[in-house]
């Protein structure tokens, strides 16, 4: 038996791994595929030496670097379950994830070690290592002390490779369990659907704690034997400078709105590129049109979730229609059903989107009842997204059955933010919504009903700082005498969204 996910990577290795670039960083450091094998092997050996056993979780909250990629691959080769955490999460937020996942090992930023060691200890995680943005720290030193030869731990297709946490509607985050085959099958599918080859050079400016940057981007490159220009973060000027050396870029809507503000974005600047994809948040039709007008390229939108990896994609060859997410990927079944009855709906009818396929996760970590509630008896997963399939077969996402907000590619559930605001003296109640925002897809917005001693906007924002990750904090706090309700007394967030729809029309003032 092989290590299922890493076997896919081995199959796609270039003929001469030492001569083929895997990662290149802006400061000129180059890592070949031979380096990838050696360094991931060293990390796998270091994890095993630290007592990590097959199936153990390895939690990681560090800044982006090539070493994080090697640590991820080392965890896969050691048979561990990789658990990346958003670098914006505060210590109280990290405490929940560590307590729930009970990792055998936690790797954090050296600058945060003092604050996080007690948190890890309370969660039962004895071993804490560090890794900084330059790839230095005790985790790297532990790998340095190991040999690079490594026997990959055998893993079945159904064995877990990763857990990614998603926000919870009740405030409790859920750990989505992703198997080796969830990741391997989706990588194979995307290589074919998006025509990736060993000649591709991907501009990678995404975070690596999120399914988009970690799995969609990195695994697709590995499964094709291609290479990456590995940027620490979004830098529009640097991306434009690199485009003549690249062939593709995966981004979120913010990438495209920022690049459109740069006068250097022209057809000539993008002439060497063959593919731009966008996901993780809705891309406005006007952004799609503006990009095509400036560059001659049509952005390829696709649809996925933490729980499903990628499920649909606009065609590589064929019409890419703005406002749609294309067709179900090969091997993925998608249907639209009546949210109340579960009955299948016909073309152009809006309902709940459900998907089924090898890409769909195994369930929620230690939440069997929640898992059972989200899967139908025939194996379809209820996404929580409302959509339709048009007469030509293109899938449209038209809304969400839940209150999820997607801002800058990150998920925010309003209840978590509302709970913090409602706890403030002088606040009667609050409602948190997402409003259209050209730069972020949606801007988190709070509407607060206060008493006579209510806090002002600055006080609310100051209260939330440090309690919640920055991306969860509202861009604006508005005040109202009351909140609109239906006959059953439920707050009508749709009415609030309609009322304030133009709040971020000029995104430059709020970004």
**376-414 pLDDT, tens per residue?**
999 999 999 988 999 999 999 877 666 778 898 887 878
pLDDT at 171: 56
Strands (E), 112-169: 127-130, 160-166
**Cα-Cα end-to-end distance for the chain:** 50
**Which of 27-41, 115-129, 438-452 is predicted most confidently?**
27-41
Q: What is the mean pLDDT of residues 221-245?
A: 97
pLDDT at 169: 45
DSSP class of 60: E
**Pairing relationship of beta strands 201-204 and 127-130 according to DSSP bridges:** unpaired
Q: What is the mean pLDDT of residues 253-280?
A: 95
Six token digits for residue 454: 């209510």
**Pairing relationship of beta strands 381-389 and 395-400 according to DSSP bridges:** antiparallel
Q: What is the mean pLDDT of residues 436-452?
A: 92
pLDDT grade for 105, boundaries at 50, 70 and 90: very high
Cα-to-chain-centroid distance, residue 504:
24
Q: What pTM does this model have?
A: 0.85
pLDDT grade for 308, boundaries at 50, 70 and 90: very high
pLDDT at 213: 96
pLDDT grade for 306, boundaries at 50, 70 and 90: very high
Lowest-pLDDT choice from 49-58, 95-104, 373-382, 430-439: 430-439
Closest CA to 204 of 162, 261, 246: 246
pLDDT grade for 510, boundaries at 50, 70 and 90: very low
- Partnered with residue 269 across adjacent β-strands are none
- Partnered with residue 300 across adjacent β-strands are 277
Q: What is the pLDDT of residues 149-160, one digit of tens each?
A: 999 999 999 999
pLDDT at 170: 47
The Cα diameter of the chain in Å comes to 72
Strands (E), 119-183: 127-130, 160-166, 174-179
Alpha carbon separation from 376 to 187, 371, 455 (Å, rounded): 25, 10, 45
Six token digits for residue 210: 């999120």
pLDDT at 452: 84
CA–CA distance, 360 with 381 (Å, rounded to integer): 8
DSSP class of 282: P
């Amino acid at each position: 038996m092989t290590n299922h996910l890493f076997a896919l990577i081995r199959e796609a290795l270039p003929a001469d791994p030492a001569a083929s670039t895997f990662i290149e960083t802006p400061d000129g450091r180059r890592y070949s595929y031979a380096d990838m094998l050696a360094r991931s092997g060293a990390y796998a050996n270091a994890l095993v030496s630290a007592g990590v056993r097959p199936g153990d979780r390895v939690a990681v909250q560090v800044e982006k670097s090539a070493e994080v990629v090697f640590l991820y691959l080392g965890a896969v080769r050691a048979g561990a379950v990789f658990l990346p955490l958003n670098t914006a999460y505060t210590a109280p937020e990290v405490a929940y994830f560590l307590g729930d996942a009970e990792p055998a090992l936690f790797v954090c930023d050296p600058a945060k070690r003092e604050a996080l060691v007690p948190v890890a200890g309370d969660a039962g995680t004895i071993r804490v290592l560090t890794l900084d943005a330059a790839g230095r720290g005790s985790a790297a030193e532990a790998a340095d002390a190991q040999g690079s030869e490594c026997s990959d731990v055998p893993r079945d297709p159904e064995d877990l490779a990763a857990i990614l946490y998603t926000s919870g509607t009740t405030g409790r985050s859920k750990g989505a369990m992703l198997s080796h085959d969830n990741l391997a099958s989706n990588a194979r599918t995307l290589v074919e659907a998006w025509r990736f080859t060993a000649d591709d050079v991907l501009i990678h400016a995404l975070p690596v704690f999120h399914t988009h940057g970690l799995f969609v981007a990195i695994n697709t490159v590995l499964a094709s034997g291609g290479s990456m220009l590995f940027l620490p973060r979004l830098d529009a000027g640097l991306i434009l400078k690199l485009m003549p050396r690249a062939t593709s870029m995966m981004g979120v809507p913010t990438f495209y709105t920022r690049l459109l503000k740069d006068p250097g974005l022209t057809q000539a600047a993008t002439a060497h590129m063959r593919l731009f994809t966008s996901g993780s948040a809705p891309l406005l039709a006007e952004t799609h049109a503006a990009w095509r007008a400036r560059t001659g390229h049509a952005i390829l939108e696709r649809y996925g979730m933490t729980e499903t990896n990628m499920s649909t994609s606009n065609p590589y060859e064929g019409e890419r229609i703005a406002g749609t997410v294309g067709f179900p990927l090969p091997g993925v079944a998608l249907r639209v059903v009546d949210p109340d009855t579960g009955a299948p709906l016909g073309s152009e009818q809006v309902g709940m989107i459900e998907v089924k396929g090898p890409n769909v996760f195994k369930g929620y970590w230690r939440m069997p009842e929640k898992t059972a509630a989200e899967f139908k008896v025939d194996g379809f997963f209820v996404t929580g997204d409302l959509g339709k399939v048009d007469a030509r077969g293109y899938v449209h996402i038209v809304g969400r059955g839940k209150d999820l907000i997607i801002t800058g590619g990150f998920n925010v559930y309003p209840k978590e933010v509302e709970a913090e605001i409602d706890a403030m003296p002088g606040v009667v109640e609050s409602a948190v919504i997402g409003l259209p925002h050209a730069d972020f897809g949606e801007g988190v917005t709070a509407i607060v009903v206060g008493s006579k001693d209510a806090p002002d906007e600055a006080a609310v924002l100051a209260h939330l700082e440090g309690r919640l990750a920055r991306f969860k904090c509202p861009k604006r706090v508005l005040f109202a005498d009351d909140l609109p309700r239906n006959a059953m007394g439920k707050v009508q967030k749709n009415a609030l969204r309609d009322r304030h729809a133009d709040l971020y029309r000029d995104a430059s003032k709020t970004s």
